[in-house]
Each structure stands twice: as structure tokens, then as C-alpha cells.
Amino acid sequence: MITPKIPLLKDGQILSVDVVNSIIKRTEYAGDLLKQYKLIAGNEMYVEPHYDGTRVSYLQPVGGGGTPKPVTPSFRIVGTYGIPGDFRSFVYNGSTFTDIIVPGSSQTVAFGIDGLNIVGYYIPTGSSLRRGFLYNGSTFTDIVVPGASQTLALGIEGLNIVGNCTLGGFLYDGSTFTTFSVPIATTTDAYGISGSNIVGSAQRTGNPDFPKGFLYDGSTFTDIVVPGASQTFAFAIDGLNIVGQYRSGLLNTGFLYNGSTFTDIVYPGSTGTNARGIKGLNIVGNSSFGGFLYNGSTFTDIIVPGSTSTQAYGIG
């Protein structure tokens, strides 16, 4: 029960029963607060008393008294980074960057991730033609659209992989490749998938400087165009939310589209921003400073230590 603050006694004031009872009630109120604010672990949460406070961790107990282990995030991030004389791909788990390199390749680009699975493309050593890949954490599998000279796997959700190839956009459901093209488009690039919805961008015939984003539900293409933009790219989708990049004048800006409203995503101080991946409230993208993770309120830099540049492309 909430009790009022106790007024201090004045000189000569009698220590009455009422004053003592108000002190007792206020003391009990403090005890109630401490009881109410005691932390109790919910599902997959761990709460442990520690000498310097109450330690809260997710998924794994860390044991009292030891050095706290980093909390494993519920997502990982993929992208690329540059070092002098080389260009590589990485997967980042919140504490460690690990290289993703297709054996026998001269270049590997990791674009999309969902759980343990990572997709992208690679260039075999001695070749100039790009081939898609799926990496499940232990094995690389080629993702190559039959009849296409080049394939880029760019997005993944569950068993479904999307991307583009020399025949247009494609969807691979684990057994069958389906290619598609936006009507009147000269190129169709599928970047992301969520459920039955695919997003991407398409270059239009007769208007080469005006690529538009699209949303494709398997039967109908819907334009995703930021009002007033000269270019719009839809890079990723999660549920109803789509992220991407638009160009207005000479400025590139990231966006989040919830199906009705476009919201700018701008890394503070950057000369340009794009949003490349989304999972729940978390968005990854790139600014003129490097990769970032944005949780709706705070930007966290995603920079591979020692790299000359870092690009974050996917989160899952």
C-alpha cells in the first residue's frame, strides 16, 4: 500500500502513536517495494544474485561470482569487410566476427542470413562468373538457377531463398527454382523474403535512372516507391516491415516502410545511409562510416576490427 512521506518532527512535538504508526507503515511500504521489484526469471531468462548487484542473462546461466559471459543475441549479422589487398565476408554473433569463405573462391559475399543458414554468392578461382551459395554452418551448397550463367543468392527465410540471375529474379524453395520478372522491367533483383512476400528492385525500360522497389506476393507486383525519390530499393522484409534505400537529389537515405508510412533511417553525421536487413525491431545497414545495427532508437557500429571498411547486409 502506498503511504505518504513522513514529515520530520519539530522541536517539542510529542512522539505520538500516530507518528510511530506512520513510521512503521512507511517502513513496510519500503519493504513492499523491494519485494515487488525483486527480479524473477521468465522463460529462458536467468537471474542470479551477485556481490555487486543482480545479474540478468538470457538463455544461459553464467554462475555467480565468475566473469559474466556475453549474452548471446537472438540474431546474427552478415556482411563484408575490406582489408588491404583483400575483401572478405563475415558473420557476427554479437561478440565475434567469423570469416565466411567458400573453398576455392577468389571472392565470397555473404548477403542474407536466417538462423544457422547464410546465403550469398562467390566467384570461383579462375572464373569471372558468380554462383550463389547456401552455408549451413558446416557445408557450402551451390545455388545456381538452371540455364543462368550467373546466380546471386541474396535473401533467405526458412527453406526459401531469393536472388537474381541472368534470367531475372528467382525463388528457390529447396527443390524448385522459379524465375520471375517485374513487367516492363529490364532487370529484376529479389533481395528479401518473408512468408510468401518477396521484395526487391527493378530497373524500368526507357527510364534507366529510375529503379523502383517492388513487393511480390507470388502473383502481383506492387511498387514500393518513396514519395519524391528518384530511386527506391527495397532490400529486406520481415512481416509487414520493409527496409531499403531511396535517393533524393544526391542524397541516399535509408527507410522503414510499415505498409502505410515511410520513416527515414539516417545515421547521425553520415553523408548517406542505407537499410539492408531487418529482423523484428532490429535493422542493419550502412553509413559513410561503416555498418550499423539500429534498434529503433540507437545506432551501434558494426565494424570488423582492423578493416578498412565494413558493410552489414543481413540480420537473422
Partner 1 sequence: MKTNPLRPIRATADGVGISVEYINEVINRIEDLVETAQRQKPIAGNNIEVNFTGDGAVINVTT
Which one of residues 281, 288, 301, 308 is an interface residue with partner 1 (CB under 8 A)?
281
Sign of CA dihedral 135, 101, 98, 304: negative
Residue 249 in contact with partner 1, rule: CB under 8 A:
no
Number of chain residues interacting with partner 1 (CB under 8 A): 38
- In the block, cell 510468401 appears at 196
Chain residues 23-52 in contact with partner 1, contact rule CB under 8 A:
23, 26-27, 29-30, 33-45, 47
Q: Among residues 21, 60, 74, 136, which is the contact residue for partner 1, using CB under 8 A?
A: 74
Collapsing DSSP to helix, strand or coil, 117 comes out as strand
Output phi, psi for 87, to 5 deg: -145, 125
CB of 17 to partner 1, least distance (A): 14
Cβ of residue 77: shortest distance to partner 1, in angstroms? 15
> Which whole-number Å values give the CA distances from 206 to 46, 135, 156, 172, 233, in the listed order?
59, 38, 31, 30, 18
**Contact present, 171 and 162 (Cβ < 8 Å):** yes
Interaction of residue 240 with partner 1, rule CB under 8 A: no
Task: Kindly report the number of other CB atoms within 10 A of residue 129's CB atom.
Answer: 13
d(CA 220, CA 198): 11
User: Is the separation of the CB atoms in 277 and 312 below 8 Å?
Assistant: yes
Half-sphere exposure for 204 (CA within 13 Å, toward CB): 13
Site track 296-315 with partner 1 (rule: CB under 8 A), x = hit: xx------------------
Q: How do 177-180 and 168-172 pair as beta strands?
A: antiparallel
Closest separation between CB of residue 42 and partner 1, Å?
3
Residue 215: all three cell numbers together: 513487393
Report the distance separating Cα 80 and Cα 108, nearest Å: 9
In the complex, minimum distance from the CB of residue 139 to partner 1, in angstroms, rounded to a whole number = 28
Scanning 1-9, 91-99, 161-169, 203-211 for contacts with partner 1 by CB under 8 A, the matching segment is 1-9
Is the Cβ–Cβ distance between 217 and 197 less than 8 Å?
yes
Question: Considering beta carbons, is residue 42 or 174 the nearer one to partner 1?
Answer: 42
What's the min distance (Å) between Cβ of 11 and partner 1? 6
CB atoms within 10 A of CB 72: 14
Q: In this complex, which beta carbon is closest to partner 1, that of residue 15 or of residue 250?
A: 15
* Cell matching residue 72: 548471446
Stretch that binds partner 1, among 4-12, 60-68, 99-107, 109-117 (CB under 8 A): 4-12
Rule CB under 8 A: choose which of 10, 146, 176, 261 binds partner 1.
Answer: 10
- Interface with partner 1 (CB under 8 A), residue from 58, 60, 98, 218: 58
Interacting residues with partner 1 (CB under 8 A): 5-13, 15, 19, 23, 26-27, 29-30, 33-45, 47, 56, 58, 74, 280-281, 295-297
